[in-house]
Structure 1
Amino acid sequence: MDRETTTRPLRADARRNRDRLVAEARAAFDRDGVAASLEDVAARAGVGIGTLYRHFPTREALLEEVLRERFDALGATARALLDHASPRAALRTWARGFAEAGTTFRGLTAALSATLRDESSALHASCASMRAAGQALLARAQRHGDIRADLTVAELTTMVFGVAWAHEQSPPQAPADLDRLLDLLFDGLSPR
């Protein structure tokens, strides 16, 4: 979160500007992918580019705000899945949600993949929290012998991003089946 919102509450007009920026960014990312023009986002929100950068100093900070709810939901899903009868099915369900989150906006998979390795990124904290929740599901599936024991959560998320990227890049007339790709991945993750 930016320094302005963590040190003192926003004035009502600043809060409205911030909310409009987030709404317009969500629409722009949906329409044009993560490379959408920030100048257009600001103009559609009715503010100058300086106001956008005052609230969100980087594209990643704005993207993190747009994706925060989805990331929080994935973390909550992971925690709820810890009680699932099948640890393997629970991990796969979480992996599917993770893959879907990665394809929310065109180009997001690459941005998230880079973010997981960059601790200084605004998206890193949200991704790290989501990945930690997935780690608990992975460890449970490994303890039950459902998933190979030498797999790390970093390797799992990299592979799930690969599946998400393949799904995202497939032609619209013949989209890659996300579930089929995940099934193939999880078959390969079975213990020998």
Structure 2
Amino acid sequence: MRADAKKNYSRLLAVAHDVVAKHGVDASMRDIARRADVGLATLLRHFPTREALFEALLCTHLDKLTQKANELETSNSPDEALVSWFREWMAFTQSHRGVVALMASAHANADSALYASCAAVHSASARLLLRAQAEGTARTDMNGDDLFGLMAALGWLVDLPSFAPRADHLVHIIADAILPNRSSNDIEKQRAESER
């Protein structure tokens, strides 16, 4: 890639990140190009579809999210790791408004440009759940699909302005439902940490 093309590519991704954070995934491609000081044709040369733009924008962040799951898997107790994972997920969805709907549809479509990244997040979630189930703190009547569905629902809810202030509370409710066998000391410790 030529230096000017690489510069345009990087600039487009930076602007797209800011625009999506502010306006969600329905942000105008034309608006992104205008804010990046390039023509729409330049944007479309780099990202021929909206999904291609979001793939490039989200894959880096989804890869970081998956890496965080790998770190949690080896550094925290299984139940703490799962609750921390929920918090990481919530932070991700709050900084990428509207991403949950894209991920939910990509998760069911192997031809989607976002499929591999979504599958990695799904797999990481399932591993964290299995680890907590093996320890005996997580419900055994659910699987990775159930967990991904709950995470998607939670991410979608906090995308709504009326629920955004209740995000932390909703995380606690979901965590308590998934991890019914945690000690009350662990629950209070994690709540205190989340309030810092």
TM-score bracket, normalised by the shorter chain, equals 0.7 to 0.9
Counterpart selection for 1:34 from 4, 10, 25: 25
- Per the TM alignment, residue 40 of structure 1 is displaced from its structure 2 partner at its CA by 1.4
CA distance in 2, matches of 1:111, 1:85: 30
Counterpart selection for 2:157 from 150, 166, 171: 166
Identical residues among aligned pairs (%): 37
TM-score, normalised relative to structure 1: 0.84
For the Cα contact (< 8 Å) 1:64–1:122, is it kept in 2? yes
CA distance in 1, matches of 2:18, 2:76: 38
- Per the TM alignment, residue 45 of structure 1 is displaced from its structure 2 partner at its CA by 2.0
CA distance in 2, matches of 1:19, 1:91: 33
Give the structure 1 partner of residue 185 of structure 2: none
Give the structure 2 partner of residue 106 of structure 1: 97
User: Which sections of structure 1, spanning at least 5 residues, go unmatched?
Assistant: 1-9
The C-alpha deviation readout for 1:117-156, integer Å capped at 9, x for no partner, is 2222222211211222222211111111111223121211
Letter of the 1:17 counterpart? N
Considering only aligned residues, what root-mean-square deviation do their CA atoms show, in Å? Answer: 2.0
Q: How many residues align?
A: 181
Bigger proportion of residues as helix: 2
CA distance in 1, matches of 2:93, 2:104: 9
For the Cα contact (< 8 Å) 1:100–1:164, is it kept in 2? no
Give the structure 1 partner of residue 119 of structure 2: 128
Moved over 4 A (4+): none
CA distance in 2, matches of 1:21, 1:170: 27
CA distance in 1, matches of 2:96, 2:73: 28
TM-score, normalised relative to structure 2: 0.83
User: Which sections of structure 2, spanning at least 5 residues, go unmatched?
Assistant: 182-196
For the Cα contact (< 8 Å) 1:102–1:108, is it kept in 2? yes
Counterpart selection for 1:183 from 155, 162, 172: 172
CA distance in 2, matches of 1:146, 1:156: 15
Give the structure 1 partner of residue 107 of structure 2: 116
- How do 1:34-183 and structure 2 match up within 5 A? 34-171=25-162, 175-183=164-172
